[in-house]
Structure 1
Amino acid sequence: MSLSYQHIYHAGNPADIHKHLWLMAVLRYMTRKDKPLFWADTHAGRGLYDLSSKEAAKTAEAAAGIQKLLAAKIDHVLWQDYVAQIKKYNPRGGLGSYPGSAILAAMLLRRDDRLSCFELHPQEFTHLQNSLKKYRHSHAEKQDGLRGLGAYMPPPQKRGGALIDPSYEIKTDYEAVPQALARNLKKFPQGVFMVWYPLLPAGRHEILKEQCAALEAEVLIDEWIYADPAAPDHKGMYGSGMVIINPPYTVPETMGALKEIILPLLR
């Protein structure tokens, strides 16, 4: 895991929207049942992000993501649910505080559910601890989530899963992630595992996709392309992907409909 990566520079960008909406859809579906579940966030970051900070302002990636979409009129129940969660951290209006995946999960999970959030970066971990303080069903662990996740598999609740979203600054993550999935699926074959990955010109994500598709489970791959990688002025990430292992019933249909609305607005 890279100890240089800080998500504050990218918070609220189109990739966050993609990841967060899948997380919302999955957890909303899984919490319909009146049975507790376990959830993990393997690379939780700081949990809550200040979009007015100098770090966020330096890249201003939220302008092309959450800020752009909040200015649009989007008529979809899942999107409106997502906006409602964001507004809870911005009671006076505007968009100063932006909940990341760990805080979104903490907000959506119930009192009897359990949430484990992993983060190795020292400063990010301190922020994460503070962000999670009010959520008694959650806790933060300062360790590599790909390694730490296995200690919770299978969870005593027999229901749940994890979001796995490293920065991929360490190139071996493209192979380490499917390897971690294979290990944890052996322990918890019914688990719902979600993997986020970037679409970059180098194409290393193809290795990850190929190895995930070969897993002994139902595998769904959803990619959002919101920039033209061939454009002369384009640099870096041009889209993002999600691998969903054991996708809950109706969630792919929900996300397919929302993708048709959201993706054109991000381009």
Structure 2
Amino acid sequence: MNYRHAFHAGNHADVLKHVALLAICDALTVKPSPVFALDTHAGRGLYRLKSGSAQRTGEAEHGIGRLIAAQPRNAAVARYLKAVQACRAAQGHDAYPGSPWLLAHALREQDRIVCCELQPIEAAALKSNFAGDSRVAAHESDGYAAMKAFLPPKSGAQKIGRGLVLIDPPYEAQLNEFDAAVAALREGLQRWPEGVFALWYPIKLRRALRPFYRKAANLPAKSALVAELLVRADDSPLRMNGSGLLLLNAPWKLDAALEPALGVLLKALGDDGGSAQLEWLRSAL
């Protein structure tokens, strides 16, 4: 696998994914009972935007860079920007938090986090970045296989009933990756039907995703919600024009938190032809 998330850290797709991730964490931690989080394609968890891979692509300038400059007034977006600021206060002015860092700082002492990364160099960095946090277990392993290993989650002999699984694959297999992801979601839901599952996906030509939407709507979840942000028109199959999140068993009122946030992100990050939408493929109501 040649993919390195460091090239894309802080871009518009990360912004969408991380705004939603923090909103989910906040919804799950309203109650005092323990929460479990599994990050199946975790990367290294912490990135530098002013050196190396991220600087070469410049994608962060059009993502987190534009959002910081805009300083929009929205609760979910402000929550995310505050987390980025906290990361930079602790790690340096050019730091950017990956999903493991955000999970570790949004969840609590009683919660448990498992992060998986298949690429050896990235996995070693992941382990190093979280070596001092006993709540975080980092594994050099395949994320899809990890769902079999860690679901349903337990604390001692007790099953943990609340939490989330974040699936953020590299999509090197392009559309074929959707089939692998849907199969993993189906198995994950069978093992942990009460869990929240979030699958990130890229959007090039949105109409090409219709088979995926149909399959997602038929997964054995109580609900299926998609949140999408396109920063430009989806008129080219050669570039990522936007991205989306499939949210299964979304927490109560998550849609109400994300809908205005999507509009704010579109205004800050979108160019001509951009769009945002929140759509229930299947509602719990």
TM-score of the superposed pair, with normalisation by structure 2: 0.88
Q: Which residue of 1 aligns with 2:228?
A: 223
Q: Which residue of 2 aligns with 1:13?
A: 11
Q: Would you say the 8 A contact 1:227–1:238 is kept in 2?
A: yes
Alignment of 1:1-267 (within 5 A): 3-91=1-89, 95-155=93-153, 156-171=159-174, 172-201=176-205, 204-217=208-221, 218-230=223-235, 235-267=238-270
Shift of 1:92: 8.4
What fraction of aligned residue pairs are identical, expressed as a percent? 35
Secondary structure of the corresponding residue to residue 71 of structure 1: helix
Counterpart CA distance in 2 for 1:92 and 1:41 is 22
Counterpart CA distance in 2 for 1:120 and 1:173 is 16
Unaligned runs of 5+ in 1: none
CA deviation vs aligned residue, 1:77-117 (integer Å, no higher than 9, x gap): 22222122111222289840000111101111111111000
CA deviation vs aligned residue, 1:49-79 (integer Å, no higher than 9, x gap): 0101221111100011000100012112222
Secondary structure of the corresponding residue to residue 43 of structure 1: coil
Q: Mean alpha-carbon deviation: is it higher for 80-89 or for 51-60?
A: 80-89
Q: Would you say the 8 A contact 1:229–1:235 is kept in 2?
A: no
TM-score of the superposed pair, with normalisation by structure 1: 0.93
Counterpart CA distance in 1 for 2:91 and 2:74 is 21
Counterpart CA distance in 1 for 2:265 and 2:101 is 22
Counterpart CA distance in 2 for 1:74 and 1:125 is 34
Runs of 4+ in 1 over 6 A off after TM superposition: none
Q: Could you say what the CA RMSD is over the residues aligned between the two structures, in angstroms?
A: 1.8
Counterpart CA distance in 1 for 2:169 and 2:163 is 20
Q: Would you say the 8 A contact 1:114–1:137 is kept in 2?
A: yes
Secondary structure of the corresponding residue to residue 44 of structure 1: coil
Q: Which residue of 1 aligns with 2:279?
A: none
Shift of 1:154: 1.4
Q: Mean alpha-carbon deviation: is it higher for 61-70 or for 129-138?
A: 129-138
Counterpart CA distance in 1 for 2:103 and 2:177 is 23
Instruction: Give 2:256's aligned amino acid.
Output: E
CA deviation vs aligned residue, 1:191-244 (integer Å, no higher than 9, x gap): 10000000023865433322111112210111111112337xx95000101100
Q: Would you say the 8 A contact 2:205–2:235 is kept in 1?
A: no
